[in-house]
Amino acid sequence: MSAPQQSSGTRQSFDVEHDATEAMRALFHPRRIAIIGATPRRGFANNIHQGILRQGFDGEIFGVTPKHEEVLGAPCYPRIDEIPGGVDKAIVVVPSHVVPDVLEQCPAAGVKAVNIITSGFGEQSDDEAARRQNYIQEFAERTGIRVVGPNCLGLVSTPGKMIAKSGPYNTVLPGPVGLVFQSGLLTYGMILPPEERGIGYSYIATTGNEADLEAADFIKYYIEDDATQIIACFIEQFRNPEKLRYVANLALEAGKPLIVLKIGRSEGGQRAARAHTGSLVGSDEIADATMRQLGIIRVRTLDEMTETIAAFHTKRLPKGDGVGTIFISGGAGGLVSDLSQDIGINLPELSPETVEKLKPVIPEYGTIGNPLDTTGQAATQPEITEGSLVSMAEDPNVDVVIYGQAYPTMIDYDTPVGQVLKTMPDRYPDKTFLIMSLVSGKLHDGFRWGEPPGDPGNTWDGTPFLQGADDSLQAVKSLINYAEFRRHWLDGYRPMAVRSELATEAESRIREANGEPLTERAAKHLLKMYDIPVTEEALATTADEAVAAAEKIGYPVVLKIESPDILHKTDSGGLALNLASADEVSRAFDEITTAARLYAPNARINGVLVQQMAKPGREIILGMSQDPDFGPAVAVGLGGIFVEVLDDVQLGVPPVDERAAGEMLDRLRGRKILDGTGSRGAGPADRQELIRIMQRFSQLCVDVADVVSEIDINPMLLYGEGEGACVVDCLIVPKSEYGA
């Protein structure tokens, strides 16, 4: 059974049944492990071997080396296929040129999965290294033995009591977080500091070059595994976007947040990803739009990833976006207020009833508001903390309550303040509670995250403790956004791009152009099929026909040269605006046809397009581009200086529904132009009509994704609220393979 194809424009697909479940069990829960390249000397092989022993692995370990009979208590054999009874997992740490010979021994040894630590494959630029990586892929396809790597640092399985990963770990704390990192070394930062706060892990995978198994395979395993509740990934490139869509929907179904740090936003980041893994990095903007569409939580840094992981240890997701904050410092409240505005966190005003409740609670030199300043007196008077938390939790405008402090010390639940905080989630089960330090740093010894000292294992049911104002608030925003998206998903939202009944005719009209850009008239006819409003127009081949068309349309009109060989009408002199009479139309017809012939003597001229002169409005651009991996993307922006100078354009991935279209408009820097607050005397634009058009345009993009490389609507004029819109010009460029 194959996965459902979401869009005809997506170039990659995959077979759901050809998954890696058996290999994953061998990787994370092996009974017999072979370390190929085992050695008593310090290095990757020895470090991994020591880690397996330290975590208490209760299976069998064998070494494969002709140099030793025993290493760290493990019997050694010259070849893996000489191990009596075979093994289910092989860890390969030998020079890259030896790897092919080692792999060919694995089928006879009964190996189910191989983890190749060795470098010297696709991450290098020479042809021989590339051939070695291609061999690994061919081996996996031929034998069915799945491969992790090469060029990685290994795996961790706390349920399997196994640290088969190189690194400075004595043990790894068990917990609900599953990590997938294409960069092995960066996992150090995601394991060691968070552990101090009680953040524990189910599984950790470093995937390296991903010659066979990729990040999405591990994500799928984590989703289906009960030990994992949160999934966090460092991604350089999504190998198969269709598989990404599939596992993201599985994650939503399971209610397991998928947190991704993807590099490649900058040109330098793209170069680094290519150099590290040999991957081809696609458009980051389209990847970003795809992640938004799938409810994937994107973070910018490892610190933000840590805080986001911490935030998702909450007992419950927020039911709305109202955030109430409590601090013992007015300065802290001011800082959080500023950052919240930058990040887009809603700090609602407290209701009048809440204000009245707080008056007898807050000292007279405190400040009643949101943020709430309880003053330093609250540190010694738990009744102030309790009254503040209760009042905030009972406010109808507040969904998330943050108790803040200015130092990186966890709350001790044995203290009076801690005892108050501990009761809040159960007293107010419809609210989300978080504890936040404004700074990050080493924690005070003896305190544990969200639970009494000495009991770090129950942090999944605790109150999350966050560190660092900016990273913590970004995490809170992600928590709120995910909760909203999941509600939308549970209500039936499924981002499946399905071709409409218009698709066949639309494709036919594209093919009729024989690979050439469609004329403006043909492009607008296609838009009109999708109920996208366009200017009224007619083609004239003589001056008399032009006058007759103008009389029918109504003055004033515009004349445009129509030629498949002249795309830029202004440059050719093939454009005349605001013509108000028959004489002006007749004269303009002769002028622009003459100018066009002088500009391009060999151009094919179909005639002159007589077009309604659209009334002034706010200029909007709407377009489609194609990504080789992710398929079509929809772009929207404000015209003029906003697109030319400010590059104020937002991308979305079809299908763009009403919610997604609205969010795209809200992300525009010039969005105030649309709501009428950005220009004096202008009222709000017809936002709902623009959203409707974006939805219809998105369907067009899905229908013609296989035959069109680019669509450019520029400009579309958007009028006042309730007054609609009108497309003035449109360019549609077929894919090159659909030429004559």
pTM for the full predicted model: 0.88
pLDDT tens, residue by residue, 111-139: 999 999 999 887 877 888 889 999 999 99
Residue 63: exposure state from Cβ atoms within 10 A (0-12, 13-18, ≥19): buried
Average pLDDT over residues 543-550: 96
pLDDT tens, residue by residue, 27-55: 999 999 999 999 999 999 999 999 999 88
pLDDT tier at 644, thresholds 50, 70, 90: low
End-to-end CA distance of the chain: 37
pLDDT tier at 452, thresholds 50, 70, 90: very low
pLDDT tier at 4, thresholds 50, 70, 90: very low
pLDDT tier at 15, thresholds 50, 70, 90: low
CA 304 to chain centre: 15
The one-character DSSP state at 271 is H
Are 310 and 476 in contact by the 8 Å Cβ rule? The answer is no
Closest CA to 479 of 317, 625, 365: 317
For residue 388 the two structure tokens come to 């503040």
Residue with tokens 């981002």: 495
pLDDT tier at 496, thresholds 50, 70, 90: confident
> Is the confidence at residue 13, as pLDDT, over 60?
no
Q: Which amino acid is at 71?
A: V
Q: C-alpha angle with apex 491: 490 to 495, nearest 5 degrees?
A: 80
Q: C-alpha angle with apex 219: 214 to 220, nearest 5 degrees?
A: 100
In which region does residue 504 sit, left (phi positive, over 0), alpha (psi from -120 to 50) or beta (all else)?
alpha
Q: Which amino acid is at 677?
A: T
Who contacts 41 (Cβ-Cβ below 8 Å, separation ≥6)?
none
Rounded Cα–Cα distance for residues 708 and 276 (Å): 33
Secondary structure of residue 338 in the 3-state scheme = helix
Q: What is the pLDDT of residue 565?
A: 87
Average pLDDT over residues 489-502: 90
Residue 88, φ and ψ in degrees, nearest 5: -100, -15
Residue with tokens 């995978």: 205
> Is the confidence at residue 408, as pLDDT, over 90?
no
Are 612 and 632 in contact by the 8 Å Cβ rule? The answer is no
Beta-sheet pairing, 154-157 with 174-181 = unpaired
Who contacts 147 (Cβ-Cβ below 8 Å, separation ≥6)?
103, 113, 114, 115, 116, 136, 139, 140, 211, 212, 213
Q: C-alpha angle with apex 464: 460 to 465, nearest 5 degrees?
A: 135
Higher per-residue confidence, 278 vs 592: 592
> Is the confidence at residue 269, as pLDDT, over 50?
no
Average pLDDT over residues 539-562: 95
> Is the confidence at residue 582, as pLDDT, over 70?
yes
Strands (E), 306-358: 323-327
> Is the confidence at residue 456, as pLDDT, over 70?
no
For residue 188 the two structure tokens come to 């150090």
Higher per-residue confidence, 2 vs 474: 474
Beta-sheet pairing, 154-157 with 162-165 = antiparallel
Q: What is the pLDDT of residue 444?
A: 54
Residue with tokens 């005639």: 607
- Using N-to-C axis directions, what is the helix angle for 582-599 and 543-553, rounded to 10°? 130
For residue 67 the two structure tokens come to 């140099």
Average pLDDT over residues 460-479: 88
Instruction: Find the farthest-apart pair of alpha carbons in the chain and give their distance in angstroms, rounded.
Output: 102
Secondary structure of residue 379 in the 3-state scheme = helix
Run of H or E including 36 = strand 32-36
User: What percentage of the chain exceeds 90 in pLDDT?
Assistant: 71
pLDDT tier at 10, thresholds 50, 70, 90: very low
pLDDT tens, residue by residue, 606-642: 999 999 999 999 999 999 988 888 889 999 998 876 6
Rounded Cα–Cα distance for residues 197 and 464 (Å): 10
- Dihedral (Cα; 490, 494, 495, 500), 10-degree rounding: -150
Strands (E), 599-648: 607-612, 618-627, 631-638
Closest CA to 479 of 673, 590, 320: 320
Residue with tokens 């470090």: 47
Rounded Cα–Cα distance for residues 628 and 411 (Å): 50
pLDDT tens, residue by residue, 417-427: 888 888 899 99
Q: What is the pLDDT of residue 2?
A: 36
Rounded Cα–Cα distance for residues 162 and 54 (Å): 8
Average pLDDT over residues 571-587: 93
> Is the confidence at residue 272, as pLDDT, over 60?
no
pLDDT tens, residue by residue, 53-95: 988 999 999 999 999 999 999 999 999 999 999 999 999 999 9
Strands (E), 377-526: 400-405, 432-437, 465-467
pLDDT tens, residue by residue, 284-308: 888 899 999 999 999 999 999 999 9
> Is the confidence at residue 459, as pLDDT, over 50?
no
Task: Point out the least confidently predicted range of 138-147, 283-292, 684-693.
Answer: 283-292
pLDDT tier at 378, thresholds 50, 70, 90: confident
Rounded Cα–Cα distance for residues 2 and 406 (Å): 53
Average pLDDT over the chain, rounded to an integer = 88
Beta-sheet pairing, 575-579 with 323-327 = unpaired
- Residue 720 has, within 13 A of its CA and on its CB side, a CA count of 4
User: What percentage of the chain exceeds 70 in pLDDT?
Assistant: 91
Q: What is the pLDDT of residue 158?
A: 96
What's the sign of the alpha-carbon dihedral 523, 528, 531, 535? positive
Q: What is the pLDDT of residue 677?
A: 73
Higher per-residue confidence, 460 vs 669: 669
The one-character DSSP state at 464 is -
- Residue 26 has, within 13 A of its CA and on its CB side, a CA count of 23
